[in-house]
């Protein structure tokens, strides 16, 4: 089964679309585990609560993966999406701030399963430094450049409290990190242009409180 894949520039796909591609991928994984072989845009889109036309438009960013009149081959589409999403590669990350959030992150099942591996954990707490967690020694941040270099680390995860986020970000960039996932309640201003994704739990909670305040029936 050969499909055209006309030198598309996957870097131009909007972030919203990427996030939906991941939803499709997850739904396909699920279908795959149930042994489903074929799926239509209608059925797959229903699984992830989007319109069928949107699913098809999203896929159109990437190529042509279906067969008119038939639908999509679950395994083939799943593989293609994994490829586009970079899930066929193993990625290494370091984590700064080994508090509750950092701990939860490292233990989070889904992350390991998707091929993301911790290669370094950093904290400023003297009591934590030197401890070993899941085979990784918790280090002082001064060891960061060495670890990033030695283990070919691309990703930095920031789970420090409050304002130390910025200085950690600076140090990660200096060490050679090119993409950051930021849980710190701070808007990072990177010295160099790199990719930053932020998760702000308070912000999501506030959408709830806004809803509750104004949607009383």
As given in the structure block, the two tokens for residue 177 are 């990190």
How far is 191 from 168, CA to CA, in rounded Å? Answer: 12
Contact of 124 with 140, CB cutoff 8 Å: yes
Using alpha carbons, list the distances in angstroms from residue 45 to 73, 109, 172, 206: 14, 26, 39, 29
11 forms bridges with which residues in the sheet?
none
Picked from DNA, a copy of itself, none, the partner binding residue 52 (CB below 5 to 8 A depending on kind) is DNA
Q: Which is nearer to DNA, 41 or 159 (CB)?
A: 41
Q: Mask of contacts with a copy of itself, 117-146, x by CB under 8 A?
A: ------------------------------
CB nearer a copy of itself, residue 36 or residue 68: 36
Contact between 105 and 78 (Cβ < 8 Å):
no
Nearest distance from residue 12's CB to DNA, in Å?
9
**Shortest distance (Å) from residue 32 CB to DNA:** 16
* Residue 69 binding target from a copy of itself, DNA, none, CB below 5 to 8 Å by type: DNA
Cα 99 to chain centroid, rounded: 20
Instruction: Give the pair of three-digit tokens for residue 42.
Output: 């209608």
Query: Within positions 42 to 81, which residues make up the interface with a copy of itself, using CB under 8 A?
Result: 47-49
Selected from 34, 127, 134, 215, the binder of a copy of itself by CB under 8 A is 215
With contacts defined by CB under 8 A, name the span among 32-40, 95-103, 119-127, 139-147 that binds a copy of itself. Answer: 95-103
x-or-dash string of contact with a copy of itself, 139-178, rule CB under 8 A: ---------------xx-----xx---------------x
Across 125-154, b (16+ Cβ under 10 Å) vs e yields eeebbeeeeeebebbebebbeebbeeeebb
Q: Comparing C-alpha atoms, which of 143, 150, 149 is closest to residue 129? A: 143
- What are the residues binding a copy of itself (CB under 8 A)? 9-11, 13, 15, 18-19, 22-23, 26, 47-49, 84-87, 89, 91, 99-101, 103-105, 107-111, 114-116, 154-155, 161-162, 178-179, 181, 185, 187, 195, 197, 199, 201-215
């Amino acid at each position: 089964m050969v499909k055209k894949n006309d030198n598309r520039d996957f870097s131009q796909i909007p972030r919203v679309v990427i996030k939906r591609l991941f939803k499709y991928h997850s739904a396909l994984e699920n279908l795959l585990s149930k042994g489903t072989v074929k799926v239509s845009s209608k059925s797959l889109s229903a699984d992830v609560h989007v319109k069928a036309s949107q699913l098809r438009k999203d896929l159109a960013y990437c190529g042509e993966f279906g067969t008119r009149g038939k639908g999509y081959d679950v395994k083939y589409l799943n593989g293609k999406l994994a490829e586009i999403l970079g899930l066929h590669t193993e990625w290494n990350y370091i984590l700064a701030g080994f508090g509750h959030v950092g701990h939860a992150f490292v233990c989070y099942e889904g992350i390991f399963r998707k091929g993301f591996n911790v290669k370094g954990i950093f904290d400023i707490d003297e009591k934590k430094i030197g401890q070993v967690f899941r085979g990784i020694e918790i280090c002082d941040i001064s060891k960061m450049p060495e670890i990033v270099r030695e283990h070919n680390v691309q990703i930095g995860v920031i789970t420090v409290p409050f304002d130390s986020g910025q200085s950690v970000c600076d140090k990660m960039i200096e060490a050679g990190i090119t993409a950051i996932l930021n849980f710190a309640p701070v808007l990072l201003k990177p010295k160099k242009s790199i990719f930053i994704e932020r998760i702000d739990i308070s912000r999501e909670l506030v959408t709830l409180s806004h809803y509750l305040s104004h949607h009383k029936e």
